[in-house]
Structure 1
Amino acid sequence: MRIRPRTRAVGRGPRGALPACVALALLSVVAACRVDLAPPGAPTIWPAASAGRWQWQWQLSGVLDPAVEADVFLLDPVATTAAQTAELRSRDRRLVCHVHVGSVLPTDPDTDRFPATVRGAGSRRPQSRWLDVRQWDSLRPVLADRFRLCRGKGFGAVALADADGYAHRSGFPLGFDDQLRFNRRLAELARSLDLSPGLVNNLAQVAALAPDFDFAVNEECVRLDQCARLLPFVEADKPVFHVEYSGSPTDFCVTTVGYGFSSIRKERELDAWRIPCPAP
């Protein structure tokens, strides 16, 4: 039977802090058995026995906090320095590179490399544009270099964001199969560059893409009542890294840990603050 979380406020404080006793209980996580990291130049491995036990952090803004008690860090490859990734690797942290593969911002260092013909309507990020994922020959060189930047900075995995332009008003007549082909090509490209590929959101294609990807990253499946759609990853003993931006961890953790997810509570700006769900 599926347990639905109650929609209760997180608690007092500007960050929605939990009462001290509850927060301490959540932070007192039983550490999962660690396995050795893959050496630099090799893709990150995700042992099946550890699925659902990873503690993770997703930070895309603010000053990076390397002391967060997490096994996995999902970070911006441009803002994160090689020195920071080296420090995290010295702490046996797994590093996942956050790459927007289906959209481009005018402030991206490689914006000018995307021809005007592949830039479409406004994307979900302010000022960003969806990309025409059918034009693989134009996109592949730029995206390959984005992946190489990740590899060069010491990341062993890459999470593919905005890989669902077909489901939005992208400015192009993109179909389900166009997106599926593009995402599979990206997973293959990541592997060819010694990166473990992960899928961000795009729940409608999870069942089709779970065999091609090593892990999933999801936002707010509890609030949206969509967590069951991620089960193809769980059933394949692949990690699901999940975040909620509202609600009490004492409520939603019951659901997501039961599903086998690694879950945290974050603010939408994705700074260093987090409350993790306890590992099973």
Structure 2
Amino acid sequence: MKLLSSICVLASLFFINNVEARWIPKIGTTWNDVLADTKFDVTKEKAEVVEVDYETSADKIKYYHSYGKKVICYFSGGTIEKWRSDYDDFAAVSGLVRNTYSNWDDEKWLDFRVSGLKDLLVKRMKKAVNNGCDAIEIDNMDAYQSRDVKGVWSNPITADDTVVFAKWLANKAHDLGISVGLKNIAGLLPQVADYFDFAINESCVNYKNECALYKDFVKSGKAVFGITYGKLEDKLETMCRELNGIGISMIMKKTQELKQDGIIFNGEEYCGSGFSNGFSGHTGSSSVNREAKEDTKKTTTTKKTTTTKKTTTTKKTTTTKKTTSTKKTTTKKTTTKKTTTKKTTTKKTTKKSTTSKKTARVKTVKKITSKGKVKKVIVIVKTVTRRKKN
């Protein structure tokens, strides 16, 4: 018995030592999306977190880490770009690759209900883990809102299908020991919030009360990274109204091209004494020791701020992509797509509610690199998939 007990103890210690603590961003952590910037200079970056394509090399990610940055890696789970190195693997799965994403000839929708997709996405997750990414962001989950799907497929993807898929993605990422962020689809937060470690939203300030949908998510101790496109002088009043007290770490860029230049938006500085960033009182953890089988998570936390349930059509944003990788940024309702030609990282954002698609082209807005004090940059490596709304 003593021998058996000793073996059990040793086995337990071995297991515990091999469960790596995955990184969990704190509320208020600053970030920058540099997915399309082939000349990204980490030595000048002030943000703590950086987002890049999941195919970014291990050496580059290690270099970013040496400057104290955390890296989020991007890829699309709801579409496939023709220039991707694994495109043929996707095309070989019967019924998986469907029609073209409107206005994006090099990108197609995926029927993620087809079982053959899971193995392909696990390979991408493992690549991100092996390259040293701290977290992943999976884009284009909003097929259930897209007219490309709803109005064309005989058996279109539904919101319920999306909830099942999102939970599987989160659990699988956690099984592999990596943090995962929910991209847009804020309307499904009540069903999937407990499964994700943080969230990324594009252009919520453009839609009344959309940013507020994340309030309960933030109250639960989870960070939300946001991005707004346009000129500060044109958006300031709206940003001050929509972000007040919500707790979203917002950045601003003049265009939807994901380059390094931009502004780390501090509402307490830009909006005055009546504004609260919503960060106080939150002490999110930087890492968590847990194995993730989050199926037991409280799905019952349907804190639906149903008042803001938008039935907007999916939107897509494009991002310029680096040679050999394209990345999409899903911009909610702002159908924009960050185009990045295959060798030009493209990122797309799909967002509900029809909106114009993003064209990649940045003009300096007050460099994120020069705004505020930020210690680390988390590099978000995304799979560039251009997203645009229908």
The residue number in structure 1 matching 2:248 is 261
Change (3 A) 1:142 1:264: same
Aligned residue for 1:31?
Answer: none
| TM-score using structure 2 length | 0.57
Show the counterpart of 2:52.
Answer: 75
Partner residue, 1:275: 263
One-letter amino acid of the counterpart of residue 261, structure 2: W
Q: What pairs up with 1:3-14 in 2 under 5 angstroms?
A: none
**How far off its partner does 1:113 sit?**
1.0
Verify the 8 A CA contact 2:48 2:70 in the aligned structure 1: yes
- The residue correspondences of 1:85-234 to structure 2 (distance < 5 A) are 85-114=61-90, 115-123=93-101, 126=104, 127-135=106-114, 137-168=115-146, 169-170=148-149, 171=153, 172-225=155-208, 226-234=210-218
Alpha-carbon shift at residue 258 of structure 1 (Å): 2.5
Equivalents in 1 of 2:41, 2:244: separation in Å?
Answer: 25
Report the CA distance between 1:152 and its aligned residue: 1.1
Deviation at 1:44, TM superposition (A): 1.3
Q: Retained in 2: the 8 A contact 1:256–1:262?
A: no
Q: Which amino acid is 1:111 matched to?
A: Y
Instruction: Report sequence identity in percent.
Output: 27
Helix, strand or coil for the counterpart of 2:36?
coil
Q: CA offsets per residue over residues 161-210 of structure 1, 9 Å max, x none? A: 10111111333521111111011000011111111111111122122111
After superposition, the CA RMSD in angstroms is 2.1
Q: Distance in 1 between matches of 2:68 and 2:199?
A: 21
**Alignment match, 2:223:** 239
1:252 Cα offset (Å): 4.9
What's the CA shift for 1:43? 2.1
Deviation at 1:122, TM superposition (A): 2.1
Instruction: Give the direction of change, closer, same or farther, for the CA distance of 1:191–1:181 in structure 2 (3 Å limit).
Output: same
Shift of 1:42: 4.5
User: Which aligned pairs between 1:21-60 and structure 2 lie closer than 5 A?
Assistant: 42-46=21-25, 50-51=26-27, 53-60=28-35
Q: Distance in 1 between matches of 2:213 and 2:98?
A: 29
- Are the equivalent residues in 2 in contact too, given 1:200–1:216 (CA < 8 A)? yes
Report the CA distance between 1:235 and its aligned residue.
1.8
Distance in 1 between the 2:101 and 2:194 partners?
Answer: 27
Cα shift readout 1:128-181 (whole Å, capped 9, x = no counterpart): 11111211x201111001111111111121111101111113335211111110
Say if 1:40 and 1:243 are closer, same or farther in 2 by CA, change over 3 A.
farther
Q: Give the secondary-structure state (helix, strand or coil) at the position aligned to 1:222.
A: helix
Q: Could you tell me how far 1:116 is from its partner in structure 2? A: 4.5
Worse-superposed segment, 210-219 or 242-251: 242-251
CA contact (8 A) 2:24 2:198 kept: no
Using the TM superposition, give the Cα deviation of residue 125 of structure 1 relative to its aligned residue in structure 2, in angstroms.
7.3
SS in 2 for 1:240: strand
- Moved >4 Å (runs of 4+): 39-42
Deviation at 1:121, TM superposition (A): 2.0
**Equivalent residue pairs, number:** 236
Secondary structure at 1:117's aligned position in 2?
coil
Is the 8 Å Cα contact of residues 241 and 263 (structure 1) preserved in structure 2?
A: yes
In terms of Rg, which structure is larger? Answer: 2
Q: Which consecutive residues of structure 2, in runs of 5 or more, have no partner in the other structure? A: 1-17, 269-276, 278-390
- Contact 2:205/2:239, CA 8 A, preserved across alignment: no
